[in-house]
Amino acid sequence: MDINKVGKNIVALRKKKGLTQQELGAKLFVTDKAVSKWERGIGLPDISILEKLAEVLDTDIYELLQIENKKNIKVEKILEEERYRIKKKFLLKIVIALLFVLMCVSMGLVVKNIIYKPSNEKVVDNLKECVFIKTYRVENILQSNDEDYLLLTIREFNCEEAVTIRVNKNLSEDEFVEGNNYEFTLKRIKEIKEDNVNEIFDSTEILAIKETDKIGLDQVQGSPTCE
């Protein structure tokens, strides 16, 4: 069973019925977020509501789960095996993300200790207010321990460096989708010494995020220096 195909099938059947995710969720007594997870292929309906879901979408369980050979098929066993596979995949992503973050932090500390030179210049207490926009591609999405936050692995156009940041879901009106580009409206809260992803997000506050269809060089905008 291909969970991504199942998700696309649920989307197609829901739209055919003219239902929103929220309306479908209400009929099944689940949240629209649960429906969204099914449709994005990162979760599966519980066996207890699968029959009701098929009924609401005017189909049967086998058609819903894209199962062609119906003989000797135990749907509950298939769902259990698929959930186990999803859980393993999710945990693997978390481990990889954490290892990547730890590696970046370790490398950053090493580099800082090597090249950092104390400055005799006075620190400016009151920086000029600076708000700018940067565009990043979302490479990977993970759920944070806090349900209001996501861990986004982002990459700037034409840049090999990818960084994982923690983002409040409420900052974006659009649903995050892997592979899509998003504009981050950022407010400087301290001096930005270098124009790189790590330095920018360490020195700014995220005000808003929205999806954009900009590609290529059109993504390159915004001045983190605000000179």
The answer to whether residues 102 and 156 belong to one domain is no
Answer whether residue 173 is part of any domain: yes
The answer to whether residues 108 and 146 belong to one domain is no
- Among the residue ranges 110-114, 135-139, 148-152, the one predicted with the least confidence is 110-114
The answer to whether residues 84 and 166 belong to one domain is no
174-217 pLDDT, tens digit each? 889 999 999 999 999 888 888 788 888 888 999 999 999 877 66
Who wins on pLDDT, 219 or 138?
A: 138
What's the gap between Cα 184 and its chain centre? Answer: 14
pLDDT of residue 122: 39
Answer whether residue 226 is part of any domain: no
The answer to whether residues 11 and 110 belong to one domain is yes
- Residue 209's contacts (CB-CB under 8 Å, 6 or more residues apart) are 167, 171, 172, 174, 182, 183, 184, 185
Asked whether residue 26 carries a pLDDT value surpassing 90, the answer given is yes
What CATH number does residue 174 fall under?
A: 2.40.50.140
The answer to whether residues 60 and 32 belong to one domain is yes
pLDDT of residue 206: 92
The answer to whether residues 33 and 77 belong to one domain is yes
pTM of the shown model:
0.41
Q: How many domains, the chain?
A: 2
Answer whether residue 152 is part of any domain: yes
The answer to whether residues 87 and 181 belong to one domain is no
Cβ–Cβ < 8 Å for 135, 182: yes
Answer whether residue 124 is part of any domain: no
Helices H / strands E in the chain, number of each: 7, 5
The answer to whether residues 111 and 135 belong to one domain is no
Letter for the amino acid at 155?
A: R
The answer to whether residues 101 and 139 belong to one domain is no
pLDDT of residue 160: 79
Mean of pLDDT over the chain: 80
Who wins on pLDDT, 33 or 120?
A: 33
Show the domain range for 169.
131-219
What CATH number does residue 17 fall under?
A: 1.10.260.40
The answer to whether residues 9 and 92 belong to one domain is yes
In eight-state DSSP terms, residue 172 is B
Angstrom distance (rounded) from CA 197 to CA 99: 18
The residues with which 205 forms a beta bridge, in sequence order, are 187
Asked whether residue 13 carries a pLDDT value surpassing 70, the answer given is yes
Q: What are phi and psi of 179, to 5 degrees?
A: 95, -10
**Residue after which a domain boundary falls, among 61, 89, 115:** 115
**Residue after which a domain boundary falls, among 62, 81, 115:** 115
The answer to whether residues 103 and 21 belong to one domain is yes
82-134 pLDDT, tens digit each? 566 666 666 777 888 888 888 888 877 776 666 554 443 433 345 567 888 88
The answer to whether residues 101 and 2 belong to one domain is yes
